[in-house]
Chain A
């Protein structure tokens, strides 16, 4: 199993450009989520999904869109990038069993918006 994969690893955007950060998992996990990590802030939840077709907002959703058309994929879209979105983005997934609740994290995407 590849686990949770993210592409690209690095990306530079200009203000106003759009892009999609890709996230895929091959563990048949129901739950997926996106986080951003900023210095001194820890990781903050952007959006999450509890199953295909179901998404909801986390702590910092503004400026980001998500969709979940398949169990495997959970892309994060920036419609009009802003310098404030410069961050490292992590995708995570977990199985539906409450008895485990272990989140598996991808390697991250480092995004710079100029």
Chain B
């Protein structure tokens, strides 16, 4: 069965500093990979996605992520964080084929921004 691991439950970053959130997945086939962000009390917003092709994908709000098949990773990065980036971030892998559907999520990383 597929799984997603986000090793960091909480991360604290100073405003203006760079950010990297880690995501590792376990999946038998070529994965569909996603990063979502959730502000407190809000729904989920898609930051970016990887299906195939270029392994470095650009998303909204200045985020990017790199797919590394050899490391089974899909880490999220941002060169300079803003206070408004404080939120919960979820990595997810999409099921495909065989009549199955849906996303498997990691448990999330809570991002705290220090002034």
Contacts and interface: CB of A to CB of B under 8 A. Distances in A.
A99 B51 contact: yes
Contacts of A49: 101
Interface stretch (B11-19, B41-49, B56-64, B67-75): B41-49
Contacts of A98: 96
B90 A42 contact: yes
A42 B32 contact: no
A56 interface: yes
Interface in A68-106: 90, 92, 98-99, 101-103, 105-106
B107 A42 contact: yes
B107 A102 contact: no
B46 A102 contact: yes
Interface residues of B, number: 23
A102 to B, nearest CB: 6
A44 B105 contact: yes
Interface residues of A, number: 26
Interface string B76-106: 0000000000000010101010011111111
B101 A105 contact: no
A53 interface: no
Given A40-B107, A101-B32, A33 B101 contact: yes
A48 B101 contact: yes
Interface of B: 4, 9, 32, 34, 43-44, 46, 49, 51, 90, 92, 94, 96, 99-108
- 5 shortest A-B CB distances, which residue pairs? A42-B105, A45-B102, A42-B107, A43-B105, A48-B102
15 contacts: A31-B101, A33-B102, A35-B103, A42-B107, A43-B105, A48-B100, A50-B99, A59-B104, A90-B43, A90-B44, A98-B96, A102-B46, A103-B34, A103-B94, A108-B43
